[in-house]
Structure 1
């Protein structure tokens, strides 16, 4: 066959390929289906456990077995995602209704991970079998080939409850994400029943049944008035608070006990909360907390904050709400796959799709049951009829040469190949007209079925079959009757599995607190050559001035309300509040500058450190200006006020590719600048010759460099200052160098 080259627009091909990939991730990986509320990996895991027979009333099986079987048969995307899905479905603190019964270490609410899958075991929960997998054998949903067409897997599980609302969902797809909070089982069932009784029910009326989210961690929803908009549109933000109780102690003291946390605090955020509280105490934002301890256990959350006597509890609680994750936001985006496409829905839409699915499932279920009952009825009627002419049938069987002849006689009355004892029997046999199914049943019937009691049992069974047929036909022909059947099943499930609501819902006031006003005082900032920094009071500095200045690289006076500006060789400015730097004694070790700022000592080095107040200082003739000099000889002046910024890290100066900042100095008067290069060129010129630029500018050329030369050092000389440096074992007096022009080559030494 001759090869053909297909020409196509590259952008169109890329667009199509990306859309195909995005839709694959959206539909087949990240988003749940609105019908059963499960992602593909969850559905496949539960179905595999069902197929393996790992039921709630049977022994646990190793998770490694479940994961391996699921990956090999249905989900070829790696064992980590399957095991993570299995673990989450077993965690009571993440799921309002756990679907898997885990045995072993399945992690903790404080962020501890589950043990490896080779150690843990699992089995299905009873509710999973009854509400998600119960009717799989009744052909109520479609099955499709798996990834290699060797197995069949369900397109969706026949879930009897709206799992999308009950357990919620979280998932990040391509260009979209879903975030659905869990809800109370009983309330959701009541909402579904209300919708089935009145499909025109409004969202507001539905919310009389489904009050709002019900998180397994409890807590308090504090923006009740916003919930209507969230449930109407499927989008919005839920504000959550932890539950705080006050306990009285001996001596008039009190302690705050956090017994419930916001759902968003699950995991490492509990540790972060403890650190945030510790930081509030360390930075003197509050003096009310004496001690903090995490006394949480299997019984529940218990974080204790011991308070000083006379503490302002209301103000402290408000501070915790504002400054920590004790109050947090849960972003809601009710996004799920509907008819193969992602769709954002309100609560009523989710319930509508679920109810529609229930009618479809139950229609298929009762059609299949009706078909089976009709087949059973046909057989039963044949057997009852056969009992009335059993002597004739026995005669037919004894006179037949083979089963085929006997069957033909029973169905069509064919008697030619059969020997009868009398013509009367032959005549009666020719009048038989059983169906093929009835004839087969008669031929397979055992003789003990002719006992009187067995015949009575058959008659009774036939009556039951007729009642079932009548019931199924009534259900299929009357939508209201089917609705009653669905509601009856929902009531049964609610009675067995509904639990009390854990999350309170209210409208709370905005948390407002008064910060302790910081008493302004003068302190001395110091940082040693290893990067450890601290502040001490002025008196301590004056007592140990000589030792402090000899042991530290940077030492200067500032106020505790000031900021420290750190300029680095990469052109960055990192700001840190003085109050965030440890305040203590002269011999205290301090903290690495990396730990209190965004400075990273492994990637950049410090060119200069100043207090913000010194950069904002106004001199007699002009405001403070900062001179910047780089390795390639670029130079500029920037007004100090440009560095009064709110961000912790900003660009202090723009550098050309391959360039590096060498010098950051504050100018006070008529200084001169001296450039010294690697090849021994010295250039001295007036600082006033340097133009003023913005911090985002590159600057101008300070010295003309020869090929492969670069600036080695930059010196700032104050008026009448004497400065001597060594170059090639010769002393060079910088203050005696002739003052030249900027952007010249300088003199050789």
Structure 2
């Protein structure tokens, strides 16, 4: 035990909490800096940078022949990136897919995936690849002292810390990544637009984001789908560095067919077809007859939707599909980048371009200084060579006779060690070519270049001009037209379920026990249907299959169901309590159906009511929706439908009092108790001796039937003059024999 204790005595003791915290922080910083986030300089993550660099080292330029992708992946893993081969190859494939990268860095040969399934690429042993021409913008200045090199993972080789990008690739190709506690989502942009914004910022260092957005219109995805985000929202994204962009598919018409010609970025045509087909299977797209994919080499995206007839509202249909499928897609924007200071940060457009231009200025400065050193060194050597040419015989004599010719040459002609070494390294055959005119010509050219380099390095204006000229040159070489047009469109709205269903007449039948069913057609004798033993007819409502069926209970709550979901009237139906949670002691009293905009009158047996729209009764809650406030002892009376042109409401009490008053006197409410409609003495109400038994709304040309048991009294509009009065009045007594009123009914066309 003592030996064991001593063996651990030399080790550092760290609390577990401190060790775990430090280890996790180290891991998170590795993920942030060395895996997930791109660098502002070249816009690449380490694995991408290593792939591009390894390919350049293999000589796989755009002018070379393709080589097996496995060769490249092997070099990347063996020399620079000791990770999984599948992840490395997938990163390589992504940079070769023209539908994934706006400006691909790799030119692939073979199966590199398709828009349908970007990950359907062939194995790396089957595909071949080389660098794309655009990659030259990242690599052309690599050997010019522009960037620092660092040891690779095993210290045997060197790799660049960053690539000397001549263009702001971080914006051009964008990128996504999830780190620890942060993420990045940078959309691709158009090269010409970004370059003109850079030039504007060089000319006007105080240019605002709004001014730069005169050039950078918005993201430019590799597809021709429209960007429909409003300009103001795009400006906010570039001002804050985060937001979202919405892209929408493009379609045209060919006769009756709808042809989708472009899909949003990273949207699979197969998935879109499946989404639409699923809606068709669920009978949620009755207006679509056929769906097919006619894409080929000439038309990479051609999805055909055939409506049922030319009466289908195409714009409405497409708006529904935009809202319910990937034909319209949101893209998160989060310009989180490893800045020039090596720290991750979310940048606005101006800061991002400014930092990249700072990086570019440093790169160009290092390139010019590196070249200046080369020129000065060469001029120094040329001076020594000129001396050797002018004294060629003596130089040869010294070399032939001296044991150590180098110090002898230095002493004889006042040469430096470098100059003497250059003379000694001359091949014998070159002596004949060592002509004074050639040396002096090269001297003059290099001297002119040296002066130009020194002037540029010493002048900020010249440096800016050089950077602008190089940006313009690269824009002419690699730039192209914008692919994603920016078009302002209205937001897409999905069609309501009732709008999507076929519209057929149905009669909703409610029994006293609360069982419900729906019969096709409006010519149904609901009372003649068969009912369960002990049950009987209570109420029915005529509507359409694409409407909501509404049910009122004795407490004034409203419940709604889609009419097409009700069981067929061929059976006994099903209890509404299986669909809804009814309060204790409550029972269903009435059924309603109609358009959401249909106006109705709701009232209680205590004589209070109001006008409301049918949509106010619609509820998705199983417990229903409190609609009509009823006092203890009261319950709803049968709601009255308001037909077009109706202007008079007629109420009747159980003691035979009838009152007609203008419909306009009744308020329109979303819910509540309402106003008093007919005056019943409070004592008689409380004692339950008298109550309002019914109401109807009368229009021009209509009549009412006042039912008293099995007999009724027919009354036209002129007959009601005797019963007209102000709202809340008592009304007048009906003739003898009709004073025990049981129901009011409207007849006539109205």
TM band (smaller chain): 0.5 to 0.7
CA shift digits 1:329-349 (9 cap, x unpaired): 111001111233211111122
SS at match of 1:64: helix
1 CA distance for matches of 2:428 and 2:198? Answer: 52
Residues 462, 304 of structure 1: CA spacing in aligned structure 2 closer, same or farther, 3 A cutoff? same
Cα RMSD of the aligned pairs, angstroms, is 3.5
Residues 623, 537 of structure 1: CA spacing in aligned structure 2 closer, same or farther, 3 A cutoff? closer
Q: Does 1:79 align with 2:85?
A: yes
Partner of 1:455: 436
Of 433, 455, 480 in structure 2, the residue corresponding to residue 474 of structure 1 is 455
Partner of 1:445: 426
Partner of 2:323: 322
Q: How far is the alpha carbon of 1:278 from its aligned partner?
A: 2.4
Q: How far is the alpha carbon of 1:507 from its aligned partner?
A: 2.2
2 CA distance for matches of 1:508 and 1:579? Answer: 34
Residues 384, 20 of structure 1: CA spacing in aligned structure 2 closer, same or farther, 3 A cutoff? same
CA shift digits 1:288-338 (9 cap, x unpaired): 322111112234211111122222122112212222222221110011112
Of 375, 378, 386 in structure 1, the residue corresponding to residue 377 of structure 2 is 375
Residue pair 2:103, 2:173 contacting (<8 A) in 1 also? yes
Residue pair 1:562, 1:612 contacting (<8 A) in 2 also? no
Q: TM-score, normalised by structure 1?
A: 0.67
Of 585, 602, 607 in structure 2, the residue corresponding to residue 621 of structure 1 is 585
Q: How far is the alpha carbon of 1:583 from its aligned partner?
A: 11
Partner of 1:67: 73
Q: Does 1:259 align with 2:246?
A: no
Q: Which moved more, 1:515-524 or 1:291-300?
A: 515-524
1 CA distance for matches of 2:303 and 2:567? Answer: 28
Residue pair 2:41, 2:165 contacting (<8 A) in 1 also? yes
What are the residue-to-residue correspondences of 1:291-440 with 2, within 5 Å?
Answer: 291-299=290-298, 300-307=300-307, 308-338=309-339, 339-398=341-400, 400-402=401-403, 404=404, 406-413=405-412, 432-440=413-421
1 CA distance for matches of 2:130 and 2:24? Answer: 39
Residues 9, 560 of structure 1: CA spacing in aligned structure 2 closer, same or farther, 3 A cutoff? farther
Of 8, 14, 21 in structure 2, the residue corresponding to residue 3 of structure 1 is 8
Residues 642, 502 of structure 1: CA spacing in aligned structure 2 closer, same or farther, 3 A cutoff? closer
1 CA distance for matches of 2:217 and 2:562? Answer: 48
Q: How far is the alpha carbon of 1:157 from its aligned partner?
A: 0.8
Residue pair 1:562, 1:611 contacting (<8 A) in 2 also? no
Residues 35, 611 of structure 1: CA spacing in aligned structure 2 closer, same or farther, 3 A cutoff? farther
2 CA distance for matches of 1:468 and 1:435? Answer: 23
Q: How far is the alpha carbon of 1:448 from its aligned partner?
A: 5.1
CA shift digits 1:420-476 (9 cap, x unpaired): xxxxxxxxxxxx312222222223334555557833222211111111111211121
Residue pair 2:389, 2:434 contacting (<8 A) in 1 also? no
Q: How far is the alpha carbon of 1:523 from its aligned partner?
A: 10
Residue pair 2:73, 2:85 contacting (<8 A) in 1 also? yes
1 CA distance for matches of 2:100 and 2:123? Answer: 19
1 CA distance for matches of 2:448 and 2:259? Answer: 61
Residues 478, 503 of structure 1: CA spacing in aligned structure 2 closer, same or farther, 3 A cutoff? same
Residue pair 1:170, 1:180 contacting (<8 A) in 2 also? yes
Residue pair 2:151, 2:157 contacting (<8 A) in 1 also? yes
Q: How far is the alpha carbon of 1:618 from its aligned partner?
A: 4.9
Residues 442, 453 of structure 1: CA spacing in aligned structure 2 closer, same or farther, 3 A cutoff? closer
Residue pair 2:226, 2:248 contacting (<8 A) in 1 also? yes
1 CA distance for matches of 2:151 and 2:574? Answer: 69
Residues 70, 446 of structure 1: CA spacing in aligned structure 2 closer, same or farther, 3 A cutoff? closer
Of 437, 460, 472 in structure 2, the residue corresponding to residue 491 of structure 1 is 472
SS at match of 2:219: coil
Partner of 2:698: none
Residue pair 2:41, 2:359 contacting (<8 A) in 1 also? yes
Partner of 1:221: 227
Partner of 1:150: 156
Q: TM-score, normalised by structure 2?
A: 0.66
Structure 1, gaps ≥5 residues long: 414-431, 525-534, 540-558, 564-576, 587-608, 625-640, 647-749
What is the number of residues matched between the two proteins?
A: 542
SS at match of 1:505: coil
What are the residue-to-residue correspondences of 1:188-207 with 2, within 5 Å?
Answer: 188-207=194-213
CA shift digits 1:524-583 (9 cap, x unpaired): 9xxxxxxxxxx99889xxxxxxxxxxxxxxxxxxx98789xxxxxxxxxxxxx9899999
Residue pair 2:290, 2:306 contacting (<8 A) in 1 also? yes
Residue pair 2:139, 2:164 contacting (<8 A) in 1 also? yes
Residue pair 1:214, 1:501 contacting (<8 A) in 2 also? yes
Residue pair 1:283, 1:580 contacting (<8 A) in 2 also? no
Of 116, 126, 131 in structure 2, the residue corresponding to residue 119 of structure 1 is 126
SS at match of 2:380: helix
CA shift digits 1:653-704 (9 cap, x unpaired): xxxxxxxxxxxxxxxxxxxxxxxxxxxxxxxxxxxxxxxxxxxxxxxxxxxx
2 CA distance for matches of 1:57 and 1:255? Answer: 45
Q: How far is the alpha carbon of 1:511 from its aligned partner?
A: 2.7
1 CA distance for matches of 2:442 and 2:408? Answer: 27
2 CA distance for matches of 1:313 and 1:174? Answer: 46
Residue pair 1:215, 1:502 contacting (<8 A) in 2 also? yes
2 CA distance for matches of 1:218 and 1:371? Answer: 48
Partner of 2:105: 99
Partner of 1:726: none
CA shift digits 1:615-673 (9 cap, x unpaired): 4275893469xxxxxxxxxxxxxxxx985599xxxxxxxxxxxxxxxxxxxxxxxxxxx
CA shift digits 1:58-114 (9 cap, x unpaired): 221111121122112211121111011000000000111000000100000011510
Partner of 1:657: none
Q: How far is the alpha carbon of 1:614 from its aligned partner?
A: 3.2
Residue pair 2:106, 2:129 contacting (<8 A) in 1 also? yes
1 CA distance for matches of 2:301 and 2:579? Answer: 49
